[in-house]
Amino acid sequence: MGRFRLCGFLIALAIGLAACGSEGSSALAPAAATVNGERITQGEVQSEVDTFEETSEFKQLAQQQDPESVRRQFEQATLSRLVRRAVLVPLAEEQNVDVSQGEIDDQIEQIKSSLPSEEDYQKALEDRGLTQADVEQLVGDQLLEQKLRTKVTADEVPSDEELRAEFDANPEQFSQTRSQHILVEKEEQAMELSSRLQAAPEKEVGDLFTKLAKQFSTDPSAKENGGDLGFLPAGQLVPEFEAAAAKLTIGEVSAPVSSQFGFHVIRVIDRKEPSFEEVKPQLEQQLAAGGQEQAWQDFLTEAYADADINITSKYGELDPATQMIVNADAGDTPGAEEPEQ
């Protein structure tokens, strides 16, 4: 199945709370991992695995694939998160990054607002054996990482020279096409409409197209604007539509074009090439996002390389590229080796 992926807030709660447990003297407990001398105990990891195995999410996944594989991937995901926390928390302290209780409370209120009621929120926690303190721990960890990322990537702002170079290198991605279409269910009807429009005098095609779109198109928007889609950049419409429109000259009407929605008759109204100044804000956002992502990944790579991380062999090994615990080889199975102390 690849790296373990669980979606949704409530499942995220289940995988994120191993850091909240305690089991007496961790100095004497077997270690699942150590990070710069800080011990993450096997009991912490196992506690979260045990909790997860009681959830409906585990039961559902276990019906679709090998239950032991599901458990194994959850175990590795839990340990990966604990290692990540042990690596990043000291670095956040060095950067004077912290999270207030008020910020945690605000985030939890947003989570609650996404659920039907307070009762639903409390029941969801109860079903998974979670306390409010558990939730606060998870949310605090998430906010701390977000704030640390924001701080260490703050300088990743593209220069005007970089923006101009990107614009000049890829001008086609900024061109926009204004088209209108008639969408119908049957190809025969699309052929009739296309033939009628192609046979019309050039000066009358635009008005006739608008009239026919309002009369016959199954696209709800056509009833309001005659099928006019406005100016759109590439990538906004289904590929079949865009490929056909790209071959049309301004004012030309297409033959029927099949897509998942039915059959389109397309007419290109206009094309425009926005100036650098018009697309500069969009470019800034795109390049900044890419630069910030790369800067954050570089930061993580260096942080993990600098940390003294030891993973007990029965859990697998740390993949430096993804910062995740993975199986050391195809035969790596839980409990195959004695735990390291």
Tens of pLDDT, residues 183-211: 999 999 999 999 999 999 999 999 999 99
Phi then psi dihedrals of residue 335, to 5 deg: 75, 10
Whole-number pLDDT of residue 27: 56
Task: Extract the runs of DSSP E, i.e. beta strands, from 197-251.
Answer: 228-233
CB-CB contact of 180 with 226 (8 Å): yes
Tens of pLDDT, residues 48-100: 899 888 887 888 889 999 999 999 999 999 999 999 999 999 999 999 999 99
Please name each of the domains of the chain with its CATH number.
9-152+308-326 (1.10.4030), 176-272 (3.10.50.40)
Instruction: In whole angstroms, give the CA distance from residue 80 to residue 78.
Output: 5
pLDDT exceeds cutoff 60 at 15 = no
CB count within 10 Å of CB 76 equals 21
pLDDT exceeds cutoff 70 at 331 = no
- For the chain, the average pLDDT equals 86
Q: How many residues does the chain have?
A: 341
- Its pTM stands at 0.61
Q: What 3-state class would DSSP assign to 298?
A: helix
Tens of pLDDT, residues 99-156: 999 999 999 999 899 889 999 898 888 766 678 888 898 899 999 999 999 999 988 8
* Nearest C-alpha neighbor of 301 from the set 280, 322, 274: 322
Whole-number pLDDT of residue 339: 41
Tens of pLDDT, residues 222-232: 778 999 999 99
